[in-house]
Amino acid sequence: MAILARAVVLAACLGSLANAQTINVNGHVVVADEGTVSAASEAAGDNFELTDSVLANLTDLHLTDIDIFKFGEDGEAAYKRGLGFASCKTMPGDLHWPGKIVWKVFNLLTGGALIKTVPFGAVCYEGEHYDADECTRIIDNWTNSDTHDEDPTANMYPLFEGNACLPTDAGKDGATCQLGGLPVYSVNATSASQVQLAVNFARTLNLRLVIRNTGHDFLGRSTGAGALNIWTHNLKKLQFVENYQSAGGYKGPAFKIGAGIQVVELYEAANKAGYTAVGGECRTVGVAGGYTAMGGHSPMSPIAGLGSDQVLSVEIVTPDGRLVVADEKNNSELFWAVRGGGGSTFGVVISLTVRVWPKMTFSGVTWSLATADANISKEVFWKGMRTYWAKFPEYNDNHTYGYSVMFNTGNDTYSWSMLPWLVPGMELPAFKAMVNPLLDEWKSIGFNVTPEFFTYDNFYDTWKNHFPTESVGASNVRTASRLIPRKNWDDADLLEETFDAVQSIVEEGSILISYNINGAAPKGVAASALNPAWRDVSMFAIIGSGWDVASSSPDDILATNKKITNDWMQRLRDVSPGSGGYGNEGDVMEPDFGQSFYGADNYKRLYALKKKIDPWGVFYAPTAVGSEDWEITQVTDFVGGLLYSDLLETLSSWLTLQTGRLCRK
Ligand SMILES: Cc1cc2nc3c(=O)[nH]c(=O)nc-3n(C[C@H](O)[C@H](O)[C@H](O)COP(=O)(O)OP(=O)(O)OC[C@H]3O[C@@H](n4cnc5c(N)ncnc54)[C@H](O)[C@@H]3O)c2cc1C
Ligand SMILES: *[C@@H]1O[C@H](CO)[C@@H](O)[C@H](O)[C@H]1NC(C)=O
Ligand SMILES: *[C@@H]1O[C@H](CO)[C@@H](O)[C@H](O)[C@H]1NC(C)=O
Ligand SMILES: *[C@@H]1O[C@H](CO)[C@@H](O)[C@H](O)[C@H]1NC(C)=O
Ligand SMILES: *[C@@H]1O[C@H](CO)[C@@H](O)[C@H](O)[C@H]1NC(C)=O
Ligand SMILES: *[C@@H]1O[C@H](CO)[C@@H](O)[C@H](O)[C@H]1NC(C)=O
Ligand SMILES: *[C@@H]1O[C@H](CO)[C@@H](O)[C@H](O)[C@H]1NC(C)=O
Ligand SMILES: *[C@@H]1O[C@H](CO)[C@@H](O)[C@H](O)[C@H]1NC(C)=O
């Protein structure tokens, strides 16, 4: 193997990287294959980092075109040859799309980590991937996020892929299994070196690059037609450091977590070590990927701040392909940016070191209310809601995390579930003393709920027992969100307008997922790019709606989509000028997303950094910093043959989908 790491020849053909691939060993030209090319990812040694000396080894024996794997400036010649300056990314079928042999060498260098995309639903369609049992399994378990985990491209909100190859569409008239907005290849990354190879390869060959961790994204930010995908799910290192000392002066317990670590894994490990970690509510959401990059709210947030406030140090592969450490001393601007400034923008996070908190008691309550069953009139329902909402600032002071879901169930009836309302660090008697006055007021107006109180001496059991499994996978919904600031409670008229706005949206059929949460920074946290709207939020509201593809015309579906963004959301914007939405649970069509998801001042600074460290435009995602310089074109031309092409054509006249070609504006 060793000789081969030193002897890879990528022969150029007609100036493009298309055909031959041989290696020159002791003067003999031999075919490049598994037996003759060893993985650069293994050659890279213990820390599995791609370095200049690894590349030098590869170029030792009169190699040509190996520069497609080179870093930043060194790869400039290949970048120009690969038409990096062209206005659009190279797609399959284009003249400059790398030939099979080039993909093969890339695969060999990554140690066989390359996966050609087979859509998750392909097992349900006639053809080589058909598998009736597996098809049944994925259909039966479709709304469970675990089901999508072990597949590199099975994202949970497939609308942005054009709903391509949905398992339940198999057998429908005209349904074929297409890639749609899915990437063409994935790198199943288990080391930084493979990520570096992929970043260099995509940059120099002008390929679209996407990063996909768990695929929980609501905006289509972890997929893209014609792309190479870096799948971070298997970057699973997890290390407890009892006495970590950060560059910024934090001294105490911390975890170093790989980019693929999911909430359940971190919570379990922290609990075992006797601490409380900060993460999201869903079992399988990633911790170190998109979640932390955009902030990340947590049941711990009322005392610990956002997920991004926990970060002490970051290992990240930057757009030039280098693996760097960013903390308060090294690459401090990058460190500022990756804590709130968004994923898929400044590089691929390989690991985060995050602080943890002491083990503590959690007390809380849940209930589930259906006004039709409880004989609660519309008037009483909204009066009861306003009684509750009015107390949000007080509950913020009490460090409340109150997470509830509301629907209009028709004919002036509503369903409202408190999923839990809890307070980290509070004993049950104090918690009941906080909640009981509300329950008494409710009782006096005939708004009766049946509270179920609970308490545990640790977070892990609280979370395991009192957070419902959340349903994913819907192909016909869109959501949007707003961070409603506490100052709205200081002005009685504005407060009424705020409640009126929220109520009107629910009346008209929106879901309301609301959080009574505050995102104040804990003491000693370094400044970050986190959306400042998080710092003084009192109510975080997610709204949205679905549609029925079978019974609605494309025009009606487009109208529903526009209503969410331009009508319902506008009512929330109008009552909270200058605030914003949460980018991870935001609307891909949010107007002025830079101001809304990042804050206007942060956005300018983030944009400047983006231009500086990614002049090539290696990383793109809709609503990511710098994404306004790009657009998706030819949304239906490229993929063709999709079941929903009429709908896609109509929707994509307005909605950003990922089924087309990525081009500079
Ligand atoms: C059921 C459910 C529950 C949720 N609960 C919460 C919650 O409690 N709190 C909360 O704040 N949010 C929550 N979210 C929203 C969640 O934060 C976003 O979906 C987020 O994008 C998930 O990040 P991910 O890395 O797991 O997902 P992905 O979809 O894989 O990635 C999301 C984005 O991050 C980028 N990215 C991923 N990994 C990396 C990396 N290593 N380096 C750079 N970029 C990367 C991707 O390219 C993409 O743009 C929830 C979502 C769902 C569906
Ligand atoms: C370069 O190749 C030599 C010989 O095969 C090997 O001993 C050395 O470890 C390689 N260096 C790197 C950085 O991979
Ligand atoms: C999925 O569905 C099957 C039934 O088809 C069930 O037996 C199985 O437990 C479910 N869960 C997972 C994770 O596959
Ligand atoms: C990805 O890599 C891991 C670790 O090598 C392996 O266990 C897993 O099977 C791979 N997944 C796929 C889909 O190839
Ligand atoms: C951090 O920066 C210092 C000095 O600038 C340097 O010596 C050190 O190697 C860097 N550490 C890392 C982990 O990059
Ligand atoms: C429901 O409430 C109304 C008035 O609030 C009352 O008149 C009626 O008797 C109640 N019905 C039931 C079944 O409790
Ligand atoms: C909750 O906050 C209020 C102030 O807004 C305070 O009076 C009350 O004592 C707090 N309750 C608890 C249980 O901390
Ligand atoms: C509303 O009430 C009418 C008349 O009782 C009934 O026909 C209809 O199905 C109800 N709608 C819903 C959504 O319950």
Residue 390's identity, in one-letter code, is: A
Q: Give yes or no for residue 64 having a pLDDT over 90.
A: no
CATH class of 362-593: alpha beta
Structural element, H or E, at residue 386: helix 378-390
Ligand at minimal distance from the CA of 41 is 2
Which residue's CA is the nearest one to ligand 5's atom 2? 330
Taking the C-alpha atoms of residue 325 and residue 321, their distance in angstroms, rounded to an integer, is 13
- Which atom of ligand 3 is nearest to 146's Cα? 13
Which residue's CA is the nearest one to ligand 2's atom 11? 54
For range 277-306, the mean pLDDT: 97
Return phi, psi of residue 263, to 5°: -45, -50
pLDDT over 70 for what percent of the chain? 91
Place of tokens 């691929």: 348
Residue ranges of domains in the chain? 1-224, 362-593
Query: Does the beta carbon of 47 lie inside 6 Å of ligand 5?
Result: no
Which residue's CA is the nearest one to ligand 2's atom 13? 54
Task: Give CA separation, 214 vs 265, 283, 289, 380, in Å.
Answer: 13, 11, 8, 42
User: What residues have CB less than 8 Å from 604, skipping those under 6 apart?
Assistant: none
How far, in Å, is the centroid of ligand 6 from the Cα of 383? Answer: 17
Range list of β-strands (E), 556-627: none
- Which atom of ligand 1 is nearest to 285's Cα? 26
Digit-coded pLDDT (tens) for 182-235:
999 999 999 999 999 999 999 999 999 999 999 999 999 999 999 999 999 999
User: What residues have CB less than 8 Å from 133, skipping those under 6 apart?
Assistant: none
Taking the C-alpha atoms of residue 603 and residue 483, their distance in angstroms, rounded to an integer, is 17
Taking the C-alpha atoms of residue 41 and residue 376, their distance in angstroms, rounded to an integer, is 64
Residue 614's identity, in one-letter code, is: D
For range 51-75, the mean pLDDT: 73
Cβ neighbour number for residue 219 with a 10 Å cutoff: 25
- Which atom of ligand 8 is nearest to 410's Cα? 13
CB 416 within 8 A of CB 503: no
Ligand 7, pocket-test mutation among 361, 362, 394, 395, most atoms within 8 A of CB: 394
Query: Does the beta carbon of 427 lie inside 6 Å of ligand 7?
Result: no
Q: Which of 149, 171, 175, 145 is nearest to 163 (CA)?
A: 175
Residue 162: pLDDT band (50, 70, 90) is: very high
For range 537-542, the mean pLDDT: 98
How far, in Å, is the centroid of ligand 3 from the Cα of 161? Answer: 25
The answer to which of 20-34, 57-71, 187-201, 289-303 has the lowest mean pLDDT is 20-34
What pLDDT was estimated at residue 644? Answer: 86
Query: Does the beta carbon of 139 lie inside 6 Å of ligand 5?
Result: no
Which residue's CA is the nearest one to ligand 1's atom 3? 282
Digit-coded pLDDT (tens) for 389-442:
999 999 999 999 999 999 999 999 999 999 999 999 999 999 999 999 999 999
Ligand at minimal distance from the CA of 381 is 6
The residue length of the chain stands at: 665
How far, in Å, is the centroid of ligand 4 from the Cα of 56? Answer: 29
Please name the residue ranges forming H helices in 119-252: 132-140, 145-149, 192-204
CB 193 within 8 A of CB 153: no
For range 604-629, the mean pLDDT: 98
User: What residues have CB less than 8 Å from 510, skipping those under 6 apart?
Assistant: 408, 543, 544, 545, 564, 568
How far, in Å, is the centroid of ligand 3 from the Cα of 285? Answer: 20
Helix (H, G, I), strand (E, B) or coil at 272: helix
Digit-coded pLDDT (tens) for 477-505:
999 999 999 999 999 999 999 999 999 99
Taking the C-alpha atoms of residue 577 and residue 570, their distance in angstroms, rounded to an integer, is 10
Query: Does the beta carbon of 136 lie inside 6 Å of ligand 3?
Result: yes
Average pLDDT across the chain, whole number: 91
Q: Which of 333, 321, 445 is nearest to 380 (CA)?
A: 445
What pLDDT was estimated at residue 29? Answer: 61
